[in-house]
Amino acid sequence: MERLTPPPVRRIAVDRHPRVVAPTSPADGAGNGAGGVTSGAGGSQILARRRAARPAATYPPEERMQIESVSLAYGERWVVRDVSLPVRRGEVLALIGASGSGKTTLLRSLNRLTEITAGAGRAGQITLDGEEIHEIEVNALRRRVTMVFQQPNPFPMSIFENVAYALREAPGRRRRARRATLEPAVREALRRAGLHEEVADDLDRPALSLSGGQQQRLCIARALAADPEVLLLDEPCSALDPISTAVIEDLIVELRESVAIVIVTHNLQQAQRVADHVAFMHLGELIEYGTAEQVFDQPRQQRTRDYIGGAFG
């Protein structure tokens, strides 16, 4: 029998004196963490600088929707209790809170999407421009109050067809409207969503061939194509990388001029970056509502302080 030798071992060279790589400067790195503690003085300074750098609203905020003493239930379980909030065009309203605080349910009730679930019940009043939303026909309401979801969900069609979808389905417009008729509106919506430069060359590409951030912007363009009055965003950036997140956040700040925006987010830094008014909810109740500076820097309630400080989440 031959002498058996073990195979030669490949060794990975290990540096005896590794170089310590310094983290990038705080200006680039801050605000990319998901949830957690507001960093110390350095962090809030950066955020304050970013907030100050935002373009000011040209027109004073104008009230679009009024949520009055709304309680929502699924079956016998109360998910939201007695919440009252205003929604204004020209500003971004952020709903923050831990999981299960009812913020997503509240958001979905704003365009009556909770009705899809059997056994959903509502008490209280929600008005859009003075009209109770239950009086408005549901599809007309959803064209005026559109929603963008957490996971990008572009339809399995081309980019053009995705954005033109809402336009084609609008009443009074011919279903088989020619492409030339719809094209200006589609391009305008893509421009508002900040996607036009990237896809302008070929609008017939499949929508699913875009990257995650582009798909989410496509969904925003699709929601904007119908020219809504209120745009609801349900954690739009939670599935995206930081660069796409930054792009969409800039987009949100730009859009608040023309559309009232309500955004649900569990990322406190994101709320600090984009929000004008913040509503903190816990276990279905509205704990605190105020401007962003007020809620983040001087929270009035202890529970708000606990949440922002990271005691729970």
Among residues 27, 32, 42, 151, the one that binds another protein under rule CB under 8 A: 151
Q: Considering the rule CB under 8 A, would residue 104 count as an interface residue with another protein?
A: no
DSSP per residue over 177-217, as a string?
--HHHHHHHHHHHHHHTT-HHHHTT-TTSBGGGS-HHHHHH
Is residue 100 a contact residue for another protein (CB under 8 A)?
Answer: no
The pair of three-digit structure tokens given for residue 96, joined into one six-digit string: 């923050």
Instruction: Look at residues 67, 75, 72, 56 and name the one whose alpha carbon lies nearest to residue 113.
Output: 72
Assess 50 for contact with another protein (CB under 8 A).
no
What does the per-residue mask of binding to another protein show for 59-98, with x meaning CB under 8 A?
----------x-x-x--x-xx-xx----------------
Show the beta-strand stretches assigned E in the chain: 62-74, 77-89, 92-96, 120-128, 131-132, 145-148, 230-234, 260-264, 277-282, 285-291
Whole-number Å distance between alpha carbons of 276 and 264: 13
239 Cα distance to chain centroid:
11
Q: Which two tokens stand for residue 126?
A: 């929600």
Residue 218, both tokens: 């496509």
Q: Name the token pair of 1.
A: 């029998």
> Which range touches another protein (CB under 8 A), out of 27-35, 85-93, 161-169, 240-248?
161-169
Provide the pairing of β-strand 285-291 with 277-282: antiparallel
CB 68 to another protein: min, Å = 10
CA 165, CA 34: separation in Å to the nearest integer? 34
For residue 81, give the DSSP letter. Answer: E
Q: Which is nearer to another protein, 165 or 246 (CB)?
A: 165
Give the pairing type, strands 120-128 and 62-74: antiparallel
- Which of 54, 191, 196, 303 binds another protein (CB under 8 A)? It is 303
Q: Least distance (Å) from another protein to the CB of residue 7?
A: 13
For another protein, the binding residues in 199-228 under the rule CB under 8 A are: 206-208, 219, 222-223, 226
As measured in angstroms, the least distance from the Cβ of 169 to another protein is: 5
The answer to the question of residue 146 lying near another protein (CB under 8 A) is yes
Work out which of 43, 48, 57, 165 binds another protein, going by CB under 8 A: 165
- 229 touches another protein (CB under 8 A): no
CB closer to another protein out of 61 and 124: 124
d(CA 114, CA 154): 21
Task: Kindly identify the residues of this chain, within the stretch 240-279, that bind another protein according to CB under 8 A.
Answer: none
Residues 18-37 that bind another protein (CB under 8 A): none
SS3 231: strand
Q: Which of these ranges, 91-99, 114-122, 246-254, 263-271, lies near another protein under the rule CB under 8 A?
A: 114-122
Binding residues for another protein, rule CB under 8 A, total: 58
Which spans of this chain sit near another protein (rule: CB under 8 A)? 1, 3-4, 69, 71, 73, 76, 78-79, 81-82, 111-113, 115-116, 118-124, 134, 137-144, 146-147, 149, 151, 153, 155-158, 165-166, 169, 171, 206-208, 219, 222-223, 226, 282-285, 287, 303
